[in-house]
Amino acid sequence: LGVLELPADRVGPLQAAVGLPGIIIMLWGGASADRTDARAVLTRVFGAAAIVPLGLVLALELGHFSVWTVTAWGLGISAAMSFSGPAQQAVLSRIAGRDLQRAVTASTAITMFTYTLGLGAAGQLDRIGLRQVLIVQTICLAGGALWIRRIGPQPLNDAGSAEPAWRRILEGFRASHRQRPVFDAMTVNFASSIFNAGGFLTAFPFIVRQVYDGDAQLLSWLMIVFFIGAVVSNLIMLRFMPLARPGRWFILFQLSRVVVLFLIWIEPAWWLVVTAVIAWGLNMGVTTTLARAIVQEAAEPQTRGRVMSVFGLGLLGAPLLGAVILGWIVEQYGPLAGLVPGMAVSVLLFLYSMAATGLWRYRST
């Protein structure tokens, strides 16, 4: 809530600084996912992460609750999620087999649904109680570790386990570049996320506050609506998957985002703003899921964990870069100006994808 009291040109760099550690940890996690049994990695990381919320509960009980203990809790959970992300995708690829598109879509829908539940719980924190929320978090993480143990041991994809971590990370970047569908999907998704995910996380809160005189509770409600839209789009896609040519839908939805952002930019009636937010969530659900599915199924098995860590690097890093750029734009030209780059980039990405990539011709394997 305090972030809304800061000017936009300070919010952006603050968001970027908080997210930077997770980027480095995710690359390390990708290298580990290809070198060892990814299932074992997940079990250990989730088990260790389950202890972190208990530390914050202990700080509450001992009267040491402060910004430093909250920061330590946040960094601990963020590190665990960043490190485990590539391993999760590696395990998913192995157990899904040829039904990878549906597996990616279902896992994305579940992730967004739980995120929506988390936003709802955050909005009711005074009624639920922080201790109760932290205990539930511990139970979920510990339960996840135990549940993953039920999956059989996973075969190792990469025999070069003696290589230093930095060489393995570098090979992940090389593998992402040499596989054309992977590189194309990553490039378009990264550029899109700078100004679209960045626009939602940085510009949109100031639009709610300054244009519509909203407060943090209204913003929380709109974010829930946004992610409900993303969940619904994934559930709809499940009905039609597997898609033979997912790249075509990925490209078309880049262009359709222009309409959504334009509707918010013209300061319409409130009901139309809510409609546009739902449509924005639907759009994000489609583009994020299809980008992940293309990258995951096109990546070489022996480097898939590292490739997915590079993809995750884009998902995390692009909004942080967008936060810095759009934070400055919002502060200089107003909150609605933060949507203009997203509209322009969406058109340019559609043209680039059609003219300079193979995404339109890409056929799912």
pTM for the whole thing? Answer: 0.79
Q: What mean pLDDT is reported for the chain?
A: 82
Supply the pLDDT for residue 72.
Answer: 77
Higher model confidence: residue 343 or residue 59? Answer: 343
Q: What is the pLDDT of residues 32-48, one digit of tens each?
A: 766 677 778 888 888 88
Q: Best-predicted range by mean pLDDT among 75-79, 192-196, 210-214?
A: 192-196
Model confidence over 229-251: pLDDT tens digits?
Answer: 999 999 999 888 888 899 999 99
How far apart are the C-alpha atoms of 360 and 346, rounded to whole Å? 16
pLDDT higher than threshold 50 for residue 158: yes
Cα dihedral 302→305→309→315 (10° resolution): 110
The arithmetic mean of pLDDT across residues 116-134, rounded, is 76
| pLDDT tens-place string over residues 6-15 | 555 555 555 5
CA 172 – CA 144 distance, rounded (Å): 27
Is the dihedral angle over the CA atoms 216, 219, 223, 225 positive or is it negative?
positive
**Domains (range + CATH), the chain:** 2-154+163-356 (1.20.1250.20)
**Is the pLDDT assigned to residue 162 strictly greater than 70?**
no
Tell whether the model's pLDDT for residue 18 goes beyond 60. Answer: no
Cα-based distances in Å from 67 to 45, 97, 115, 234, 320: 24, 45, 23, 37, 22
**Using DSSP, how many helices (H) and how many strands (E) does the chain show?**
16, 0
Q: Give the residue from 205, 190, 183 showing the smallest Cα distance to 287.
A: 190
